[in-house]
C-alpha cells in the first residue's frame, strides 16, 4: 500500500511504503525503475539531485547503441522521461539513513519510506588530484566538469589531467569550443579507447606524457600549474587559466558501508552476476558496483537488479524448484 503525500518535515510523518526503493537516478537507477515497475513491483526512485548522474557531465556520448552521437545531458533527459512513464522520481531527496530489519526504513531530507527491498544505484563522484591549490581554486579555475565550465575558457589555455576516456572526451570537447588544450598524463600512454586517442591525434591536441601536476597556482583564480617531468625530474610552471581534473571516480558507497554490504578495497559494492549484494534484498548496479563503467553496463545492471528483486520478492512459479 502506498500512502501519498509528502510533508516537508520528515520527523512526524508516516512512512510511505514500497516493495522496492531505488536510490539514485543515473542510468542504472532509471533502468531499474522501468524494469521493476513493469514487473509489477511498487517502487520509487529517490535522487538527491536531478536525474542523470555523471553522464550529465559528459559532453558527447558515441557508444550507447541507438545514439551514434548524443550529448550526455540529452541522453539522460530522454532516459529520465522514459522512466517517468512508469515510476515516480523524487528529485532533491537525499537518503540520510537506512535501517535494516524486517523491512528497510529510510529517512530522507524530506520524507520517510519503508520497503521490502533496496536497489543502490548511487553512482560515483570525481576523484580529486590532491595537489596544493586544488581545493582553494575549485570553482575558480579548477573544474571537474568540462561541459559545465568549459564555456568560460573559450580561447584560453587550459589543461586536462588524466589519461582515461573522460579526460580525452573532455579535451575533445574543450578543443571544439576553442580552448587551447593540453592533456597532462602521468604515464607514457593513454588508457582511453583507441577511437578517442585517434581523434585527439587528428586534431593535434597537445599532450604531455610522464608528467604530473605538482601544484595549481593562483590566488583568486588559476594562473598556472607547476609540472614535474617524471623521467627527468625537471619542474616547470605552465601558464593556464583552467584546470580540468579527469582522473577517475570513487564510488558513492556510504550507505552500502552503513548497511554492512561487502565492498572491494576501492569501496565498490560487490555484487553477483544477478546484481545481488551480500545482504538479502539489497541489490546494487551502475558505477557504485564497479565493473566496466559504461552507460550500457549501468543500464544492464539496473535491469538485472530489478529482475532479481522481482524474483526474490515474488518468487514466481518458474523460479520454484
Residue 298 binds to ligand NAP (criterion: CB under 6 A): no
Residue from 141, 162, 251, 286 in contact with ligand NAP (CB under 6 A): 162
Let me know the angle formed at the C-alpha of 67 by 63 and 70, rounded to the nearest 5 degrees: 85
Residue 163 binds to ligand NAP (criterion: CB under 6 A): yes
Calpha distance 75→88 (Å, rounded): 19
Nearest approach in angstroms of CB 39 to ligand NAP is 29
Q: Which residues, numbered 263-292, are part of the site for ligand NAP (CB under 6 A)?
A: 292
Nearest approach in angstroms of CB 199 to ligand NAP is 11
Partners of 242 in beta bridges: 158
Calpha distance 217→236 (Å, rounded): 12
Residue from 97, 187, 231, 319 in contact with ligand NAP (CB under 6 A): 187
Which residue number, 296 or 314, has a Cβ lying nearer to ligand NAP?
Answer: 296
Residue 226 binds to ligand NAP (criterion: CB under 6 A): no
Calpha distance 299→33 (Å, rounded): 11
**Residue from 19, 43, 145, 179 carrying the catalytic annotation:** 145
Residue 197 binds to ligand NAP (criterion: CB under 6 A): no
Residue from 34, 200, 247, 255 in contact with ligand NAP (CB under 6 A): 247
Cβ partners under 8 Å of residue 111, min gap 6: 6, 7, 10, 13, 15, 16, 90, 93
Active site residue 145: yes
Residue from 6, 294, 311, 313 in contact with ligand NAP (CB under 6 A): 294
Closest residue (Cβ) to ligand NAP? 164
Which residue number, 15 or 132, has a Cβ lying nearer to ligand NAP?
Answer: 132
Residue 249 binds to ligand NAP (criterion: CB under 6 A): yes
Nearest approach in angstroms of CB 131 to ligand NAP is 8
Nearest to 229 by CA among 188, 201, 170, 200: 188
Residue 170 binds to ligand NAP (criterion: CB under 6 A): no
Calpha distance 70→97 (Å, rounded): 36
Q: Which residues, numbered 227-246, are part of the site for ligand NAP (CB under 6 A)?
A: 246
Q: Which residues, numbered 30-59, are part of the site for ligand NAP (CB under 6 A)?
A: 58
Nearest approach in angstroms of CB 77 to ligand NAP is 18
Q: Which residues, numbered 132-161, are part of the site for ligand NAP (CB under 6 A)?
A: 161
**Residue from 19, 149, 170, 287 carrying the catalytic annotation:** 149
Active site residue 148: yes
Q: Which residues, numbered 65-124, are part of the site for ligand NAP (CB under 6 A)?
A: none
H helix and E strand count, the chain: 7, 17
Nearest approach in angstroms of CB 179 to ligand NAP is 18
Nearest to 294 by CA among 51, 45, 58: 58
Identify the helix (H) or strand (E) that includes residue 167: helix 165-176
Reported as half-sphere exposure (CB side, CA atoms, 13 A), residue 260 has a value of 5
Nearest approach in angstroms of CB 166 to ligand NAP is 3
Active site residue 43: no
Calpha distance 131→215 (Å, rounded): 5
DSSP 9-49: --TT-PPEEEEEEEE--SHHHHHHHHHHHHTT--EEEE-SS
Calpha distance 264→267 (Å, rounded): 5
Give the chain's radius of gyration (CA, Å). 22
- Interface with ligand NAP by CB under 6 A: which residues? 58, 61, 63, 129, 161-167, 169, 186-187, 191, 246-249, 292-294
Enumerate the active-site residues: 145, 148-149
Amino acid at each position: 500500500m502506498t500512502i501519498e503525500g509528502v510533508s516537508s518535515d520528515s520527523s512526524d510523518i508516516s512512512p510511505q511504503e514500497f516493495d522496492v526503493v531505488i536510490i539514485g537516478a543515473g542510468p542504472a537507477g532509471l533502468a531499474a525503475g522501468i524494469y521493476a515497475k513493469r514487473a509489477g513491483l511498487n517502487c520509487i526512485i529517490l535522487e538527491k539531485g536531478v536525474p542523470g548522474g555523471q553522464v550529465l557531465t559528459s559532453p558527447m556520448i558515441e557508444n550507447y547503441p541507438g545514439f551514434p552521437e548524443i550529448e550526455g545531458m540529452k541522453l539522460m533527459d530522454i532516459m529520465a522521461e522514459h522512466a517517468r512513464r512508469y515510476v515516480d522520481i523524487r528529485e532533491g531527496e537525499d537518503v540520510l539513513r537506512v535501517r535494516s530489519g524486517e523491512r528497510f526504513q529510510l529517512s530522507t531530507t524530506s520524507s520517510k519510506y519503508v520497503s521490502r527491498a533496496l536497489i543502490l544505484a548511487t553512482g560515483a563522484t570525481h576523484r580529486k588530484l590532491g595537489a596544493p591549490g586544488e581545493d582553494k581554486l575549485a570553482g575558480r579555475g579548477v573544474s571537474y566538469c568540462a561541459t559545465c565550465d568549459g564555456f568560460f575558457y573559450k580561447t584560453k589555455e587550459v589543461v586536462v589531467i588524466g589519461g582515461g576516456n573522460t579526460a580525452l572526451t573532455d579535451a575533445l570537447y574543450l578543443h571544439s569550443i576553442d580552448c587551447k588544450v593540453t592533456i597532462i598524463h602521468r604515464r607514457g600512454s593513454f588508457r582511453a579507447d583507441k577511437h578517442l586517442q585517434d581523434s585527439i591525434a587528428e586534431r593535434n591536441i597537445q599532450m604531455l606524457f610522464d608528467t604530473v601536476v605538482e601544484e595549481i597556482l593562483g590566488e583568486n583564480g588559476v594562473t598556472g600549474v607547476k609540472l614535474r617531468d617524471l623521467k627527468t625530474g625537471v619542474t616547470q610552471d605552465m601558464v593556464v587559466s583552467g584546470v580540468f581534473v579527469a582522473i577517475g571516480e570513487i564510488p558513492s558507497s556510504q550507505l552500502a558501508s552503513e548497511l554492512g554490504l561487502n565492498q572491494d578495497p576501492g569501496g565498490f559494492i560487490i555484487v553477483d552476476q544477478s546484481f545481488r549484494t551480500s545482504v538479502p534484498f539489497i541489490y546494487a548496479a551502475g558505477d557504485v558496483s564497479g565493473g566496466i563503467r559504461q552507460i550500457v553496463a549501468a543500464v544492464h545492471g539496473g535491469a538485472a537488479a530489478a529482475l532479481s528483486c522481482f524474483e526474490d520478492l515474488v518468487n514466481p512459479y518458474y523460479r520454484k524448484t
